[in-house]
Amino acid sequence: MTTLDENQNPHESLLALLTQGEDDTSGLPLSNVLIADFSRLLPGPWSTQLLSDLGATVIKIERPGSGDMSRANAPHFKTRSVYFNSVNGGKHSVTLDLSSSEGRAIAHKLIAQSDVVVESFRPGVAKNLDIDYTKAKELNAGIVYCSITGFGQTGPLSHISGHDLVIQALSGFAGLSAQDDKAPDVPGFQAADYAGATMAVIGILGALIKRKNTGEGSNLDVAMFDSLFAMCNISQTASMARKVGNTGTPAIEVWGGNPRYATYLTADNKAVAVALLEKRLWVNFCTAIDREDLIDHDERLEDRHSDHGGKAAEYRAAIADCCRAKNRDELIDEMTRHGVPMCPIYSPDEALNSENVAGRGLIEHASHPEEGDIPQIVNPLALSGLARRHRPHAPDVGDANNEVLNALGFDADAIENLIKNGVI
């Protein structure tokens, strides 16, 4: 077990012990920030992984034994969850039974030494566990405390679990794909989870700057619903117009109703995305397919995001016929030569192995002693030097128990007793 340097305080010791051999975080903006991460599943862990990429030392607190339930999520590399690794890379795991007084006492010691606390319990649970903001502030006056929930700590829906689909449904976002006699499609992206995670990161960074300027901590109430709803400003334009008595029409059309901004099938039953919003691009396309008759020389700027009214059916038919006449890759090659922005709709495998992902350096590999070299999606800020490019793999359950407890003042005998009593 690594030993504590008696000349260092616990905060410095935790940073020193947990960053040994990780020189790639030196010089990063959060290299001196310690985060106690009590979150699970997606929004909280992804947000703290981003902060870890920026240099923060993140201690992930998990239940003894099984740990974060997302460790069980398929698919796997060999035995470990790909999903879990994708949102928990670069962290250090400590197991604590927070239902026990001993576990809570250790959590209090950790909170007292941390710069940031992140939790994603249902409202009221953190208070019941005695690790809520009131307790955290008592232990550490300058703490930045971030709670991530589905609907916030207050409000009529605060008691509802924060499942992504529920939040997308209630935000109006999922309803954008509604059709007559057909329920909207289940969204293919966890927009609410990632919106909440992104807002949490922004809030934490802002709170750290505030603390540096004023010495004051912060209590952040980040709701996934609020975060996604704030990002629905474009989809809410018509409803906001109606809110002040206007008709909301013509509505901005970027959801498939504009035939020049839509998806189409090709001869080989693959699909392409067509983005011919601007008039000059539409002219390029019409010229490329010898259909100059479709060019409207009186087209106005406001037609760009419209459904093109009575011309829509003819436009859609012409694009569909063009796409159906060729295989996907052949079509893309031809349109690219004519300066027409069509692109293939990739499967996840095609996207992962695409030339652009490789060219931007968005995939790196982490070496794992049992899994081998496992792929990681690189933080986009690495290109700007603000985040590390090589993120270590996700931790095993309790991999940092000894180091963290030792830095908090527990000796080997005390740690052994905690193990025997099921506290860690």
Contact assessment for residue 148 and residue 47, using Cβ atoms and an 8 Å cutoff: yes
Q: What is the model's pLDDT at position 4?
A: 41
- Pairwise CA distance, residues 191 & 333, whole Å: 32
Give the pLDDT band (50/70/90) at residue 22.
low
pLDDT over 80 (residue 1): no
- Pairwise CA distance, residues 93 & 85, whole Å: 13
3-state secondary structure of 274: strand
Q: pLDDT tens across 157-194, in order?
A: 999 988 999 999 999 988 887 777 888 888 889 999 99
- Residue 374: count other Cβ atoms within 10 Å of its Cβ: 18
pLDDT over 50 (residue 3): no
Q: pLDDT tens across 127-158, in order?
A: 999 999 999 999 999 999 999 999 999 999 99
- DSSP letter at 160 equals S
Q: Average pLDDT for residues 337-361, to the nearest whole number?
A: 96
Which amino acid appears at position 24 of this protein? D
Percent of the chain surpassing pLDDT 70: 97
- Pairwise CA distance, residues 174 & 248, whole Å: 19
Report H helices in 129-236: 133-139, 164-171, 191-214, 224-230
- Pairwise CA distance, residues 225 & 231, whole Å: 10
12-21, 227-236, 408-417: segment of lowest average pLDDT: 12-21
- DSSP letter at 179 equals B
Contact assessment for residue 15 and residue 57, using Cβ atoms and an 8 Å cutoff: yes
Q: pLDDT tens across 395-414, in order?
A: 999 999 999 999 999 999 99
Contacts of 228 (CB under 8 A, 6+ apart): 167, 168, 171, 173, 191, 192, 195, 196
Contacts of 237 (CB under 8 A, 6+ apart): 248, 251, 252
Q: What is the model's pLDDT at position 92?
A: 96
Q: pLDDT tens across 103-130, in order?
A: 999 999 999 999 999 999 999 999 999 9
Q: What is the model's pLDDT at position 229?
A: 97
Q: pLDDT tens across 51-109, in order?
A: 999 999 999 999 999 999 999 999 999 999 999 999 999 999 999 999 999 999 999 99
Q: What is the model's pLDDT at position 2?
A: 38
Contacts of 176 (CB under 8 A, 6+ apart): 184, 235, 255
Q: In the chain, what are the helix, strand and coil shares in percent, each to the nearest 5?
A: 45, 15, 45
Task: Output 311 or 8, whichever has higher pLDDT.
Answer: 311
pLDDT over 80 (residue 23): no
**Cis ω on the peptide bond leading into residue 250 (within 30° of 0)?**
yes
